[in-house]
């Protein structure tokens, strides 16, 4: 009787966890065919990204746990007219993958796995030796339901897809700030397939969720 009760309890917890993960998916963005990049207007003001004050937060998860981390930017520019961003791009330093919820060997091991530093596991995730940078290029700005929607081509592992996300921007003096809402991308759209149950069968509960949560924080200074 105790064994039957324990089995029932475990199944119930797994079902609740799976349902919660599905419900907690935030602002999922679809990866579409890349869009044409528009040229900035001549009268636009250029802002250079302050890489020391900019970052990307990420969250990856499995059925019963998740990990958090950050990425740095190496460079970027935005063009704005009357305080409104009209174009821009930034480069993501994939070698800067940082895990923030672990310490010691566990942190080092996970970062190494994500970066593809282990022989034979280079392409499990991001293979930074072959693909050391990611690129985001703005292709369109619009307003939806009172929020700014930014569309752009995101390139990871040499795969380019168009995505969109909501963000707020502000201008204070010579500094422009962009902060996105938390949104999710499906990693398999960029060929990051390791332990994905949508790609591989018979994984049981040993899978990693396809969706990665992203939050972008950027400050840029007038050039």
pLDDT digits 0-9 by tens, 139-155 = 999 987 778 999 999 99
The average pLDDT across 130-136 equals 98
Note the pLDDT of residue 25: 58
**Does some domain include residue 113?**
yes
Provide the number of structural domains found in the chain.
1
Across the chain, mean pLDDT equals 88
The average pLDDT across 34-62 equals 88
Q: Is the pLDDT of residue 13 over 90?
A: no
Note the pLDDT of residue 39: 60
Of the listed ranges 83-87, 90-94, 111-115, the one predicted with least confidence? 83-87
**Does some domain include residue 20?**
no
Q: Is the pLDDT of residue 46 over 90?
A: yes
Write out the two tokens for 4.
Answer: 């039957």
Cα(109)–Cα(69) distance, rounded to whole angstroms? 14
CB contact burial 161-192 (16+ within 10 A = b; e otherwise): bbbbbbbebebeeeebbbebeebbbbbebbeb
**Does some domain include residue 19?**
no
Ramachandran quadrant class, 56 (left: phi over 0; alpha: psi -120 to 50; beta: rest): beta
CATH classification at residue 184 = 2.40.128.110
Q: Is the pLDDT of residue 106 over 80?
A: yes
Q: Is the pLDDT of residue 16 over 80?
A: no
**Does some domain include residue 173?**
yes
Strands (E), the chain: 45-49, 55-62, 65-81, 84-99, 133-144, 147-156, 159-172, 175-180, 183-186, 211-222
Q: Is the pLDDT of residue 200 over 90?
A: yes
**Does some domain include residue 2?**
no
Cα(93)–Cα(60) distance, rounded to whole angstroms? 18
CA-closest candidate to residue 148, choices 90, 86, 92, 91:
86
In a 13 Å sphere around the CA of 58, the CA atoms on its Cβ side amount to 21
Of the listed ranges 5-14, 36-45, 116-125, 167-176, the one predicted with least confidence? 5-14
Q: Is the pLDDT of residue 17 over 80?
A: no
**Does some domain include residue 127?**
yes
Cα(185)–Cα(19) distance, rounded to whole angstroms? 19
* pLDDT band (50, 70, 90) for residue 94: very high
Q: Is the pLDDT of residue 7 over 50?
A: no
Long-range contacts from 126-130, C-beta under 8 angstroms, 24+ separation: 126/94, 126/97, 126/156, 126/157, 126/192, 127/157, 128/94, 128/95, 128/97, 130/157
76: domain range?
A: 27-222
Q: Is the pLDDT of residue 63 over 80?
A: yes
The average pLDDT across 95-124 equals 98
Cα–Cα distance list, 50 to 19, 79, 88, 96 (Å): 40, 14, 14, 16
């Amino acid at each position: 009787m105790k064994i039957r009760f324990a089995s029932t309890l475990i199944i119930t917890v797994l079902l609740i966890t799976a349902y919660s993960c599905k419900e907690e998916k935030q602002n999922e963005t679809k990866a579409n065919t890349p869009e044409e990049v528009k040229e900035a207007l001549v009268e636009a003001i250029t802002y250079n990204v302050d890489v020391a004050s900019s970052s990307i937060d990420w969250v990856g998860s499995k059925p019963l746990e998740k990990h958090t981390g950050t990425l740095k930017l190496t460079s970027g520019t935005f063009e704005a007219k009357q305080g409104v961003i009209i174009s821009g791009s930034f480069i993501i330093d994939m070698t800067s993958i940082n895990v923030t919820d672990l310490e010691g060997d566990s942190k080092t091991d996970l970062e190494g796995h994500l970066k593809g530093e282990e022989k034979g596991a280079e392409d499990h995730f991001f293979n930074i030796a072959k693909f050391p940078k990611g690129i985001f290029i703005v292709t369109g700005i619009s307003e939806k339901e009172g929020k700014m929607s930014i569309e752009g081509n995101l390139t990871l592992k040499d795969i380019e897809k168009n995505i969109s996300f909501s963000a707020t921007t502000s201008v204070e003096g010579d500094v422009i700030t962009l902060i996105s809402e938390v949104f999710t991308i499906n990693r398999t759209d960029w060929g990051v397939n390791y332990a994905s149950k949508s790609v591989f069968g018979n994984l049981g509960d040993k899978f990693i969720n396809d969706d990665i949560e992203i939050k972008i924080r950027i400050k840029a200074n007038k050039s």
